[in-house]
Amino acid sequence: MPKIPQYSLASLDIFFIREELTALIGSRLSRIYGHEKQLICLFSIKNDKKVIFSIKVPENVSFVPVRTDAPENPSGTIVALRNALEGSMLSNVMQEGFDRILRLSFKGRESWTLVVELFSHGNWFLLDEQESIKIAHAEEDWKDRALHRGMVYSPPKPVPNVPALDEHDIHDRIVHSSRDSIVKALAVDLGLGGIYAEEVCLRAGVDKHEAIALFSHKDAALLKGALGSMFAMTPRGYVYPDVITPVALLSHQDVLMQEFPSFLEARALAIPHVKSRAELDLERAKAVLHTQESAVSELAMAQATYTEKAQWLYNHYAQVVDVLTNLRQGSDRNAELVANLLHAQGLNGSLDLSKAILHLQISEENS
């Protein structure tokens, strides 16, 4: 199964991710470690079963089937995160409104909340009971908010809470949109994203290209019904050539590649593979072996060449000695003399007068 191209998570994806993660409430976080912007959380649930939850900001969260190697030297933030969260129990999972933000609450000796922002370049923060930032993957300053250790966490400006909108809210938001079509208003102003905006229009039987000016209360009611049915679905994982979704796409039903029992399991296909220490060691060993094999091959070729030259010289020793003797005795070492001497011995070659080097041509003809 090829890797699915990475894509940004939509708010609807986070809605269903939160739903699936509620199954982990009450489980213990036994281990946490990280690779760059990725956190790996190992949860222990009933009957000693383990669940591995991966957070890769900003593009992915998923369950992963196999535990990856932990870095030998974890960063200070990862160590601090371990000290705060390991051994604690997951007590709640929430989505920040309908935004691309997950909030995972933990209870242990103290209460903590891990906030994961899955938009822009992504970030995560550990908050105490007063919502103060104690640990941050990266401290940031935005136009309308600052995110630094010791400050109270400030979420972005709220986006429309689509699951809670009624048909009148939907109608009002779309008719006041600056977009030129219903599908664009759904994608941008309601935050559904392109794929889900088109899917909602298809399920509702509403022309996605319809101009905003023609949008009616009837259209709004149809969209509300389609949205309601989608939000009521039990999430699964549907893998298509260009996207992974928690609900089946009618618009993509002819190109469904694979189906998983959960969206978070399917999302593992979108994780770039992080090579383990064993894989890296094997690659290094293969590179060393390749270098050694190349060196052996070059030495073997050189040996064959020098063996051929030595054999030829052995077979033509008398002729070569005669040519060299005549050259040493003669005072006029010109090209014609050399040519005559070589021809007399049945040899081919030339004399480099500037360097006093005699070049002999080895060939089958004069072997």
Residue 184 and residue 173 in contact, taking contact as beta carbons nearer than 8 Å: no
CATH of the domain at 195: 1.10.8.50
**CA neighbor of 243 nearest in space, from 208, 262, 270, 264:** 270
Give Cα 177 to chain centroid, integer Å.
Answer: 35
Angstrom distance (rounded) from CA 187 to CA 195: 8
Query: Structural domain of residue 149, as residue ranges?
Result: 11-159
Q: Longest C-alpha distance within the chain, in Å?
A: 115
Statement to judge: residues 170 and 155 lie in one domain: no
Statement to judge: residues 121 and 49 lie in one domain: yes
pLDDT at 348: 83
Whether residue 42 lies inside any domain: the answer is yes
Statement to judge: residues 138 and 21 lie in one domain: yes
Whether residue 288 lies inside any domain: the answer is no
Statement to judge: residues 51 and 139 lie in one domain: yes
Statement to judge: residues 15 and 105 lie in one domain: yes
Point out the domain boundary residue: 159, 175, 206: 159
Sequence-distant (≥ 6) Cβ neighbours of residue 46 within 8 angstroms: none
Angstrom distance (rounded) from CA 97 to CA 163: 10
Statement to judge: residues 96 and 46 lie in one domain: yes
Statement to judge: residues 190 and 155 lie in one domain: no
Sequence-distant (≥ 6) Cβ neighbours of residue 113 within 8 angstroms: 103, 104, 105, 106, 126, 127, 131
Strand partners, 106: 90, 112
Point out the domain boundary residue: 144, 159, 174: 159
Whether residue 223 lies inside any domain: the answer is yes
Residue 244 and residue 238 in contact, taking contact as beta carbons nearer than 8 Å: yes
CATH of the domain at 155: 2.30.310.10
DSSP annotation of 8: P
Q: How would residue 325 be classed by pLDDT, with cut points 50, 70 and 90?
A: confident
Rounded mean pLDDT of 20-31? 96
Q: How would residue 327 be classed by pLDDT, with cut points 50, 70 and 90?
A: confident
**How many other CB atoms are found less than 10 A from the CB of residue 56?**
24
Q: Is pLDDT of 269 > 90?
A: no
Residue range 45-103, pLDDT digits in tens:
877 789 999 999 988 999 988 777 677 788 889 999 999 999 999 999 999 999 999 99
Residue range 220-256, pLDDT digits in tens:
999 999 999 999 999 999 999 889 999 999 999 999 9
Whether residue 335 lies inside any domain: the answer is yes
Whether residue 309 lies inside any domain: the answer is no
Residue range 199-217, pLDDT digits in tens:
999 999 999 999 999 999 9
Whether residue 293 lies inside any domain: the answer is no
Statement to judge: residues 249 and 366 lie in one domain: no
Q: Cis link prior to 246 (omega < 30° from 0)?
A: no
The total of structural domains in the chain comes to 3
pLDDT at 290: 79
Statement to judge: residues 83 and 212 lie in one domain: no
Residue 133 and residue 125 in contact, taking contact as beta carbons nearer than 8 Å: yes
Give Cα 364 to chain centroid, integer Å.
Answer: 59
Statement to judge: residues 128 and 32 lie in one domain: yes
Angstrom distance (rounded) from CA 155 to CA 160: 14
Query: Which tokens belong to 178?
Result: 């600056």
φ, ψ of residue 99 to 5 degrees: the values are -90, 170
Point out the domain boundary residue: 263, 294, 329: 263
Residue range 286-318, pLDDT digits in tens:
878 878 888 888 888 888 888 888 888 888 888
- Starting at the earlier edge strand, list the strands of the sheet with 123-127: 60-64, 50-56, 38-44, 28-35, 89-95, 101-107, 111-117, 123-127, 133-136
Statement to judge: residues 16 and 140 lie in one domain: yes
Statement to judge: residues 27 and 147 lie in one domain: yes
Whether residue 268 lies inside any domain: the answer is no
Q: How would residue 332 be classed by pLDDT, with cut points 50, 70 and 90?
A: low
Whether residue 63 lies inside any domain: the answer is yes
